Structure 1
């Protein structure tokens, strides 16, 4: 006697699972402009590569003869897959089954997905769309009891942040535990107009007297602007493309190093426009992104967190094919001053580079920390000191290029100067404990008061000090290691990227990554 009857029942149960929430719920998902969980997996994974685990897990009802009368599949799907040939663990929430509520997911599936990524050192992808952890209040009545909250598998989620790349895409409304799973990642995004994220959704918030739409409460622009997520995608297809780009710069786990790819870009390429990229007028602003794009491999810059902490630009790029982490001051926002959120952005990004062994390229134009009442209320010095601590704890190779300003405590965050100072400056470099302009009149107050023509006297003093502040004077005393022609910056950085590989060691860093 064969086992064909059991195989037939297995296939029947698979068909039931593939029906997901049923035709009506699937149609509602499409009417909202969103793919369903299985369509998302098919769109993201390499064709034919997804191998689902626990496909027939769910909640069945049986008739008197013991046959399946009804079946509600688990709304958490996971399995092994490949993305651009790289093995990953791929998970997806099914919103068509009870709105993605976690109590319909079977918690052990989520835990096993995290464990698979951890033990086999695989990147973990979360496609998130769900209403939270415990379902509705009705669930408690059907259970007949309540429970003390706990988070199954959270300890593995914490550990994974220090071991493998974790990416979370919010592809619809995300609340409660789903929001927690979103931010427990190295890279996260929401789809503009389709995705929102909140600790609790509008119906719950209304109970405390605040009436908001989903967009007003937790739209993509809100969370990309406050740093809760890293990016905004224009569509689900765009979200999948951003995910692929992010992963392409990282190793599959911390026990490996990121791979070099052929760049086809001459490492000695000169960008003639860089000789005049920095205005001579210190008050005149300039755009930093064209400078970044000019010195890295063409088309390789992948910006992360564009909409928050905007006084710095952060992202991945390649130099002569090698992946690097880029931090660049942006004088177009606050003149490049570090606010509290800018410091938090730097801290998190440096930790990301350290976790996955990416050399850091820092393009510096930092006039200092923000000052004033608002800066004090935001505890700027606290967050600035944390960013400095992250920089001083980092062990990855680090190169600093001072483009213009480096002032005060924040200016010292250009590098950990207790290490070898792979550091250079453009001729536009301008540094010190504070800008000369800010203290000039106070320092020479008595001289100016005695002068017949204070304005002329002030101009004379300024002229003398302008000669003193020349970066060439600093280099004369080896206070800066190198002054370079801006047009040669790429060649210097490519040499750094190549030699940096000799200083990289795979493995876990000394302390864990925090989201």
Structure 2
């Protein structure tokens, strides 16, 4: 007697699993302009590379004879795949089955996906849509009891932040545990118009007396602007493209060093860099073109452009080698560090240090923001956290001082307790406080005794302008070198070719803070 009956049953169950939430739910998903879970898995993975784990898992319903009468697939799908030839763990929530809620999921699948990434040392990619939390109030009636809240697998998600690259994509409404899974990543994004994120959705918020639409409560613009997610994109296709680019800069796990990309040694320093910084210290200028001129062509991948605007952060390559870039942005409050700017610096430093990316910082930093707003936002605390991250880092560090470098925030231009390379442009201007801001107070007695206070003040300014010359600092080895801006790219190429010899693969003492 053969196994034909069992093989027929296997084929039937596979077909039921592939049906997901059924034709009506799948049609509704498509009508909202969204791919379904299996379409997303196929779109992100290299063609034909996705191998599902647990495809038959779900909830069967049986008749009195014990025969399968109906089947609801689990709404969390995962497996192994390849992205640009590199193995990853790929997961997707199926919104067509109970809106992605946990009462239609099997928590062990979610936990196993995270464990597979950790134990097999592969990047973890989550495509999230739905709540993924404790189900609805109706679930409690079905269970017949309530429970003290806990999050299955949370400890694995925490550990993974220090072990493998984690990427999370919000591809529809995301709430509760789904929202927590989204932000527990090294890189996260929302699709504009399709995806929203909230601690609790509009119905629960309305019960508390606040009436909002999904977009008003937690649209992509809100969270890309406050740093809860790193970016927002226009389409799912753009989201998938960003995943591929982000992963291309990182190793598969912390036990490896980042892979080298295509070299760009033919690119020379741009002539216009000589005049990129205006002579007028109050004149603003864009920093992103400077970044793009220094790194390999088309390698700049900005992260978090809509929040913490005092710096531009991202990944890039120098002579093919991946690096992390932190660049002061004078077009936002002159480059002052606000609380959100400091949080953004901390996040980028943590990412770079975890995955062994040398850090390049371009500095035009007049210090921390001051005033009532700065105090209300606890700027000093978040600024101190950023400085702590900088000093806890162990990767090679190169600093290019473009213009201002002042005060406590300016001290974050590089860790001072180990070797760093600091190059200054002739426009460099630094100190504990800007000289121009304290002349009248510091020289009050001399000015009051002068017959011509205006002339005396001009003479004092002339003396101090000579003292503040960056060349005087270089004489005392207060900065390693002052260079022609057009030499910067070549110097960075030389630096990374040697400094990366100091990179050591392995886990750090602590993982990134989410």
What is the rounded CA distance, in whole Å, between the counterparts of 1:204 and 1:132 in structure 2? 16
Give the conservation status (yes or no) of the 8 Å contact 1:287–1:330: yes
For 1:278-316, what per-residue CA distance to the aligned partner results, in whole angstroms no more than 9, with x for missing partners?
011100000000000000001100001111111011100
Aligned counterparts of 1:509 and 1:417: Cα–Cα separation in 2: 20
Contact conserved, 2:350 with 2:511, CA < 8 A, in 1? no
Q: CA deviation at 1:132?
A: 3.7
**Which deviations, in whole Å up to 9, do the C-alpha atoms of 1:332-361 show, x marking residues without a partner?**
111111111111111111011000000000
Structure 1 residue 98 and structure 2 residue 98: aligned?
A: yes
Match of 1:31 in 2: 31
What's 1:465 paired with? 464
Contact 2:315 2:322 (C-alpha < 8 Å) held by counterparts: yes
State whether residues 176 and 200 of structure 2, in contact with CA within 8 Å, keep that contact through their aligned partners in structure 1.
Answer: yes
Q: How far, CA to CA, are the matches of 1:145 and 1:394 in structure 2? A: 47
Q: Secondary structure at the match of 1:253?
A: coil
**Residue 441 of structure 1, CA deviation:** 1.4
> 1:232-247 alignment to 2 at 5 Å?
232-247=232-247
> After superposition, what is the alpha-carbon deviation per residue over 1:137-180, rounded to whole angstroms, capped at 9, x for unaligned?
11111111111111111111111110000000000000000000
Deviation, structure 1 residue 500:
2.1
Q: In structure 1, how many angstroms separate the alpha carbons of the residues matched to 2:465 and 2:4? A: 89
Aligned to 2:294: 295
Q: Which runs of 5+ in 1 are unaligned?
A: none
Distance 2:131 2:180 in 1: 11
For 2:409 and 2:60, how far apart are their aligned partners in 1?
60
Contact 2:396/2:420 (8 A) holds in 1? no
Taking the aligned partners of 1:504 and 1:476, their CA distance within structure 2 comes to 31
Q: CA RMSD in A?
A: 1.0
**Counterpart-to-counterpart distance in 2, 1:178 and 1:250:** 25
Cα distance in structure 2, aligned partners of 1:93 and 1:420 = 46
1:494 aligns with 2:493: yes
Residue pair 1:266, 1:320 contacting (<8 A) in 2 also: no
**1:446 positional shift:** 2.3
Taking the TM superposition and a 5 Å limit, the aligned residue runs for 1:83-232 are 83-232=83-232
Structure 2: any 5+ residue segments left out of the alignment? none
Instruction: Report how far residue 65 of structure 1 moved.
Output: 2.5
Task: Return 250-259 or 146-155, whichever deviates more.
Answer: 146-155
TM-score (ref. length: structure 1): 0.98
Please give the alpha-carbon distance, in whole angstroms, between the structure 1 residues aligned to 2:269 and 2:355.
30
Residue 285 of structure 2 is matched in structure 1 by 286
* 1:20 and 2:20 correspond: yes
- Matched with 1:76 is 76
Matched, 1:57 2:57: yes
User: Offset at 1:265?
Assistant: 4.1
How many Å separate the matches in 1 of 2:278 and 2:451? 33
8 Å Cα contact 1:265/1:298 also seen in 2:
no
Partner of 1:386: 385
Give the match's secondary structure for 2:114: helix
TM-score norm. by structure 2 comes to 0.99
Distance 2:217 2:102 in 1: 22
The alignment status of 1:422 with 2:421, answered yes or no, reads yes
Aligned length: 514
Q: How does 1:421-440 map to 2 (within 5 A)?
A: 421-440=420-439
Q: For residues 299 and 453 of structure 1, what CA distance do their matches in structure 2 show? A: 57
Please give the secondary structure, in 1, of the residue aligned with 2:21. coil
CA distance in 2, matches of 1:56, 1:153: 21
Question: Where does residue 336 of structure 1 map in the other structure?
Answer: 335
